Homo-oligomer: A and B are copies of this chain.
Amino acid sequence: MDGRILIIDDVATNRIVLKVKLVAASYHPILACGGLEGLRMARICVPDLILLDLMLPDLPGFDVLRELRNDPVTRDVPVIVMSASTALEDRLAALEAGADDVFVKPYDDDLMMARLRNLLRSRQDLADLTDGHDSGLFGMAEPEAEFQQPGHLALVTEWPQRAMKLREDLSPLMRDTISVLTHDTVLSDAQPATRAPDIYLIDVDYLQSERGLRLLSDLRSRAATRHAGICLIAGAAVQSHMIMALDLGANDILNTGMTLPEIALRLRAVLRSKRRADLRREQVQDGLRLAMIDPLTGLFNRRYASARMMVMAARSQRDGRPLAVMVADIDRFKAVNDKYGHAVGDDVLIEVGHRLGCSLRADDLLARIGGEEFLIAMPLTTTDEAQSVARRLCLEVEQRPILVAGGGALKVTVSIGLAMSQCAENGSPNAVADSVDALIGRADQALLASKRAGRNQVTLARTAA
| A192-B430 contact, Cβ under 8 Å, with A140-B314, A311-B137 | no
Interface residues on chain A, number (Cβ under 8 Å): 80
Check if A221 sits within 8 Å of B141, measured CB to CB: no
| Listed stretches A57-65, A85-93, A126-134, A376-384; interface member | A126-134
Question: A454 in the interface, Cβ–Cβ < 8 Å?
Answer: no
- Chain B neighbourhood of A337, CB < 8 A: 342
- Chain B neighbourhood of A138, CB < 8 A: 307
Check if B70 sits within 8 Å of A318, measured CB to CB: yes
Question: A160 in the interface, Cβ–Cβ < 8 Å?
Answer: no
In the assembly, how many copies of this chain are there? Answer: 2
Within the complex, the shortest CB–CB distance from A225 to chain B, in Å, comes to 9
| Listed stretches A166-174, A210-218, A229-237, A403-411; interface member | A210-218
Beta-carbon nearest neighbor of A427 in chain B: B70
- Chain B neighbourhood of A354, CB < 8 A: none
Check if A133 sits within 8 Å of B429, measured CB to CB: no
Q: Select one of B117, B308, B428 contacting A134, CB under 8 A.
A: B308
Q: Select one of B2, B134, B141, B288 contacting A130, CB under 8 A.
A: B288
| A117-B221 contact, Cβ under 8 Å, with A131-B285, A291-B291 | yes
Within the complex, the shortest CB–CB distance from A57 to chain B, in Å, comes to 25
Question: A358 in the interface, Cβ–Cβ < 8 Å?
Answer: no
- Chain B neighbourhood of A70, CB < 8 A: 318
Question: A25 in the interface, Cβ–Cβ < 8 Å?
Answer: yes
Q: Select one of B140, B240, B291 contacting A286, CB under 8 A.
A: B291
- Chain B neighbourhood of A448, CB < 8 A: none
Question: A284 in the interface, Cβ–Cβ < 8 Å?
Answer: yes
Within the complex, the shortest CB–CB distance from A146 to chain B, in Å, comes to 9
Complex CA gap A214/B142 in Å reads: 37
Question: A385 in the interface, Cβ–Cβ < 8 Å?
Answer: no
Check if A210 sits within 8 Å of B240, measured CB to CB: yes
Beta-carbon nearest neighbor of A226 in chain B: B124
Question: A26 in the interface, Cβ–Cβ < 8 Å?
Answer: yes
Q: Which 3 A-B pairs have the closest CB atoms?
A: A287-B291, A26-B187, A141-B307
Kindly list 12 other residue pairs between chains A and B, CB separation below 8 angstroms, not including A3-B223, A334-B341. Answer: A2-B190, A3-B222, A25-B218, A26-B188, A71-B318, A137-B311, A143-B430, A247-B248, A288-B288, A288-B291, A290-B303, A337-B342
